A and B are shown apart, each in its own frame.
Chain A
Amino acid sequence: MSAYLIRRLLGAVVVMWAVATLVFFMLRMVPGDPFLAMVFDTGDPAAADDMRRAFGLDKPMYVQYLKYLQQVLQGNFGNSIYGSGIPVSQIIAEAFPRTMSLTLLGFFMALIIAIPAGLISALKKHTAIDHGVTVVAFLGLSMPDFWLAILLIIVFAAQLHWLPAIGYVALDQGFWPWFSHLIMPAIAIGTPFAAIIARMIRSSMLEVLKADYVQVARSKGLKHSYLIFMHAMPNALIPVITVMGIALALLMAGAVVVENVFAIKGLGRVLIQGILNRDYPVVQGAILVVSVIFVLANILVDMMYTVIDPRIRYQ
């Protein structure tokens, strides 16, 4: 098990390196120059050259690349080119909890809705409830997240005044302020995911209910609720765990878009502004952090497997 974990973590390091390298060179292939844009008003190319030297961007590409790798290994993401040159790590430390809060809240909201919905629709197959869940799921699946976000703002913020339309409040300011700002964006990103999970659980539960071991459990006279929760449900949830790693990545991608609708200054904002400004260190740092989360989440999901399914053991 620990040997397996070490292997996975080494694999993760390789992935991180590949991501860092890819992003580094892709960014530099994008036309445009951060400094020329900054000195556009004054039109003094000499000032741009000075700045370029200060950030080491006058050196050959491979020297920049090696320098960048060296810095990253030391945990240094460099400084933002644009604006006041604050450290990238500081920008990320500020933005990251917002995106992560949003992603995780979306994730849990989706599961809390999808698991019961999927189970109920399997248990009440071909009834009005089942058809209702199906219709809602397909609606949820076909709505773009930013569109749903705007719809939610119009209804719950603009019309009903129940929730704040935009912004973010940190969790240490209290649960409700944090929650009330995040609930709408969380629903916006979580809805398509919830729809998929509900459908998955429905079909896997129907499959499990036909399994021999459920028949055996029935033949033992077990109570219906015990049979559903102890015997059927855990088996029905296994396929859902397989997609959780990917789901988390997709939710994060959704968060990056929806953040902008709700003016939450998370990683999405940071990334988009970074790209518009050709702020290389900021974009590199933000993408690296996102991919670290993605890789770790996938390792975590694989570990969860072993907890739920005793047949799976990693060597």
Chain B
Amino acid sequence: MALLEVKGLGLEFSSPGGTVQAVNKISYDVEPGEIVAVVGESGSGKTAAALSILGLVPQPPGKIVAGEISFDGQNLLDLSEDEMRRIRGRRIAMVFQEPMTSLNPLLTIGRQLTEAMRLHLGLGKAAANDRAVELMNMVGISDPQRRLGQYPHHFSGGMRQRVMIAMVLSCEPELIIADEPTTALDVTIQAQILSLMQDLTEKLGVAMVIITHNLGVVARYADRVNVMYAGRIVEHGTAVELYRNPAHPYTIGLLNSVPRLDRPRGSPLEPIPGNPPDLTALGRGCAFMPRCRFATPACGEATPDLQDVGGSHVAACWELEKIRSGKAA
């Protein structure tokens, strides 16, 4: 049985400009110990969908309008705030995008690292401290005992993200959600952090949902990938399927906009033209149509559903045939 199953999740925000359809009936699942990626440009609803899992979407303005989030057989949307609180940090933990602002400036690293263990695992001060030292070693922070007594401003961005990783691992959760964990970091540090997360999740058997806007990252670290556009999942498959054989024009565009090892050095990167649509005014047709070079007038008539393109690979596009034969040619 899947560890996490998101089924038809719909989330809206009411805003002065109208109702924002941030997440539009998305479904995906995560098996125990697996790394699943959610990829898309900024504004496609990745964070909103992730926060819904932990019940952290501010309501209002947010409102979950459809679907179910089943974790270990239990619909999280049915739980009370107190039951949900016992799951957060304990069974599902989250790493956020901005390490520089994710730690409380007034509390020591030690305090922030141990508070969840003391609460969820009932550890005493000494036991929690010992485990904190162990975790700091694990994420590669040297001189842990001294570092635990320091404050966040003594740590660089990369070091803070290591602390965050130690923090999410502290209660041995079954699922980690990592929301663009390296976007705010230097390129050299990004790879270090991602490998660290991959190693640790593998070693500890933790499942992970990794959110990113960089398909290149995904190919290296994820088992399966969901591509999100304008609140919908438009393509899903294994990392290999998507990387070798992208089906949806948006995925193809994403791949052409990041450097790839399997293409000649110096071949130009092509950003996808145009901008993501206004989520308050989605039409009935395919949301990607205005930016799509394969689009036909028929694409504006209705939104395509996900269709099989072989194996576990699915994509939501009216012109899949044409694109596939075009690529083959």
Contact = CB atoms under 8 A, between A and B. Distances in A.
A213 B106 CA distance: 11
A216 B104 CA distance: 9
A220 B115 contact: yes
Interface in B85-131: 85-90, 93-94, 96, 98, 101-107, 115-116, 119-120
B167 A220 contact: yes
A304 to B, nearest CB: 13
A222 B116 contact: yes
Contacts of A309: 105-106
B106 A310 contact: yes
A222 B90 CA distance: 10
Contacts of B104: 213, 216-217, 231, 235
Query: Which residue among B56, B89, B164, B167 has the maximum number of chain A CB atoms within 10 Å of its CB?
Result: B89
A61 to B, nearest CB: 53
A308 B106 contact: yes
Nearest to B86: A221
Contact of A218 (B56, B106, B120, B167): B56
Interface in A264-315: 308-311
Contacts of A234: 106
A64 to B, nearest CB: 52
B153 interface: yes
Interface in A217-254: 217-223, 226, 230-231, 234-235
Contacts of B116: 220-222
Interface string B144-174: 0000000101000000000010010000000
A308 B151 CA distance: 12
B101 A221 contact: no
Interface residues of B, number: 27
Nearest to B84: A221
Nearest to A308: B106
B38 to A, nearest CB: 17
B107 A231 contact: yes
B94 A219 contact: yes
Given A219-B56, A221-B116, A235-B105, A311 B89 contact: no
Contact of A310 (B88, B89, B105): B105
B98 A310 contact: no
A231 B94 CA distance: 18
A221 B106 contact: no
A311 to B, nearest CB: 5
Given A310-B105, A310-B153, 17 more contacts: A212-B96, A212-B98, A212-B102, A215-B102, A216-B94, A218-B56, A219-B56, A220-B88, A220-B167, A221-B88, A221-B90, A221-B120, A223-B119, A226-B119, A235-B105, A308-B106, A311-B105
Interface of A: 211-213, 215-223, 226, 230-231, 234-235, 308-311
Interface of B: 54, 56, 85-90, 93-94, 96, 98, 101-107, 115-116, 119-120, 151, 153, 164, 167
